[in-house]
Structure 1
Amino acid sequence: MGGLAAALLWVTMAGAGGHEPPVHTLAEVLFCQPPWPSLGAALTFDADQLFWFDFPGSRWTPRLPDLPPWPPALETPDQLLQDANLCQDLRRAITDLVTGRLAEAKGVPMADVFPMRPPVPGEPNTLVCLVANIFPPAVEIVWLLDGVPVTQEVTHTHYTPMADLTFLRFSYLRVTPATGDIYTCVVTRQGDNTSTIAYWVLQPPVDAEELQTALCGAAMALGILLALLGIAMLVAARRGARGAGR
């Protein structure tokens, strides 16, 4: 049985002013595990990833290009690599102790696909596959278009640790959608034969005149229904008044 060890540093900060100041969480999470990626580290603020550590390149990398670079004196790559070696040693030792005695924890990934901008047929857009409830952080994300794998214009983010000890990951696919295209995001856990699948289909645009006609018809039907209901209530009230006068 494989194992996963994680070192977590959670810092909770409360804003000033007000009766109930907002609470913010700054977290640095380091994990190590047998499957790829064997090492991972990220710094998050309120579950939004700010930096992730590129272990092959031995450097902190900002999640977004407009973020300032990592302060060199805050935590050097050498310090983090020492922590990573300790994490690996602890993982191996704990795995030897608990294998066959404790069940291995696993989460079932949940996926959702949505466009980054309101979709328009024939106009470039980006589809986002949001994968949540990942544990351990070792999943493969594949895109399909009408059942055919797509490898071009695909990017994946690093794993983002969440407060419930699961991980979040995004995958992006640049597309020029057409009506009827079926896009599929397939998420597979490494070492398993199970996958989570999410679909996205560009719906045909609704003609403005047809939509207006449908809305007018619905409003007319609702008006007739309310009128009939009012007549029925009036008749019932008159019958009740006549019965009371006898």
Structure 2
Amino acid sequence: MDYELSQGAALLWLLPLLWLLPHSWTAPQAPTPRWQDDLQNHTFLHTMYCQNASPSVGLSESYDEDQLFSFDFSQNIRVPRLPEFADWAQKSEDVSTIFFDKGFCQAMIHEIGPKLEGQIPVSRGIPVAEVFTLKPLEFGKPNTLVCFVSNLFPPALTVNWQHHSAPVEGVGPTYVSAINGLSFQAFSYLNFTPAPSDIFSCIVTHEINSHTAIAYWVPQNALPSDLLENVLCGVAFGLGVLGIIVGLVLIIYFRKPCSGD
């Protein structure tokens, strides 16, 4: 196991292979078949952390640094980051193991944390935030803004949204996940219906050093909305009908018999 502990943010990492397979070893391997040469390695990371800041404890599970689940310790359930993962979250049967890990993690903070005071930095780096839409932008159609926070250590942060400098209420939870290199990333989601005049901002505050990162979003490269498509179709249809009428008038006019002198 690897440990990261400090007075301000004491972290305990439980790496999945060491935790789930404590007696694993490397067995002799046969030569790799040629058809497997192009296969890529993938990583599933099950990480529990606890600290003296908020959140005091957390669990994230990710696949190739793409978070799948977090854990809500107040309701004892896995929480999928995206609706597509909901069925998998309901099939978990390791709640008792997770709570054992939580107790062990918090015990290590109280026992080892004071002994390592000053040996490990309280924080590292400055969080970086960026905002983008979950789906292609179309005015008037429901969408989701994603605030992505990277270069985060330790995972003690608050995320707030503003629309035209006014606070946005009803924002969902912030999902924190661990990535390789003893670092974290976070996601915050905001459901909205985009309009051409929108200006949104995601405000990320790192609770350890009070550093604030702000990312802005304004509409760019929007796809045509249904209203615009309907207007264009109506104009095209109108021009077509007008062309037919003008053509009939000209045909009738030129087919009139010429009057003699």
Matched, 1:26 2:44: yes
Q: Which has the higher strand share?
A: 1
User: What corresponds to 2:192 in structure 1?
Assistant: 175
Given the two structures, how large is their TM-score scaled by the length of structure 2? Answer: 0.68
Given the two structures, how large is their TM-score scaled by the length of structure 1? Answer: 0.72
User: What corresponds to 2:135 in structure 1?
Assistant: 117
Query: Residues 124 and 58 (structure 1 numbering): CA distance in 2 closer, same or farther, change over 3 Å?
Result: closer
The AA in structure 1 aligned to 2:206 is R
Distance 2:89 2:204 in 1: 32
Query: Residues 189 and 176 (structure 1 numbering): CA distance in 2 closer, same or farther, change over 3 Å?
Result: same
The number of residues matched between the two structures is 201
User: What corresponds to 2:16 in structure 1?
Assistant: 9
User: What corresponds to 2:144 in structure 1?
Assistant: 126
The AA in structure 1 aligned to 2:112 is I
Q: 1:156-235, aligned counterparts within 5 Å? A: 156-203=173-220
Query: Residues 36 and 156 (structure 1 numbering): CA distance in 2 closer, same or farther, change over 3 Å?
Result: same
Q: Is the 8 A contact 2:126 2:211 kept in 1?
A: no
Distance 2:119 2:113 in 1: 10
Q: Is the 8 A contact 1:112 1:131 kept in 2?
A: yes
Q: 1:125-164, aligned counterparts within 5 Å? A: 125-152=143-170, 154-164=171-181
User: What corresponds to 2:67 in structure 1?
Assistant: 49
Kindly name which structure, 1 or 2, has the bigger radius of gyration based on alpha carbons. 2
- Once the two structures are TM-superposed, the CA of residue 203 in structure 1 deviates from its matched residue by 4.0
- Once the two structures are TM-superposed, the CA of residue 162 in structure 1 deviates from its matched residue by 0.6
Distance 2:88 2:112 in 1: 37
Distance 2:127 2:116 in 1: 25
Q: Is the 8 A contact 2:142 2:191 kept in 1?
A: yes
User: What corresponds to 1:67 in structure 2?
Assistant: 88
Classify the secondary structure of the residue corresponding to 2:114.
helix
Query: Residues 102 and 151 (structure 1 numbering): CA distance in 2 closer, same or farther, change over 3 Å?
Result: same
Distance 1:157 1:26 in 2: 21
Aligned sequence identity (%): 35
- Once the two structures are TM-superposed, the CA of residue 22 in structure 1 deviates from its matched residue by 0.8
The AA in structure 2 aligned to 1:97 is K
Distance 2:51 2:222 in 1: 47
- Once the two structures are TM-superposed, the CA of residue 194 in structure 1 deviates from its matched residue by 1.7
Matched, 1:38 2:56: yes
Gaps of 5+ in 2: 1-6, 19-31, 225-261
- Once the two structures are TM-superposed, the CA of residue 113 in structure 1 deviates from its matched residue by 0.6
Moved over 3 A (4+): 59-63, 203-207
Matched, 1:104 2:122: yes
Distance 1:79 1:189 in 2: 30
Distance 2:173 2:76 in 1: 19
- Identify the structure with bigger relative contact order (alpha carbons < 8 Å, sequence gap 6+): 2
The AA in structure 2 aligned to 1:111 is A
Classify the secondary structure of the residue corresponding to 2:14.
strand
The AA in structure 2 aligned to 1:144 is Q
Q: Is the 8 A contact 1:60 1:70 kept in 2?
A: no
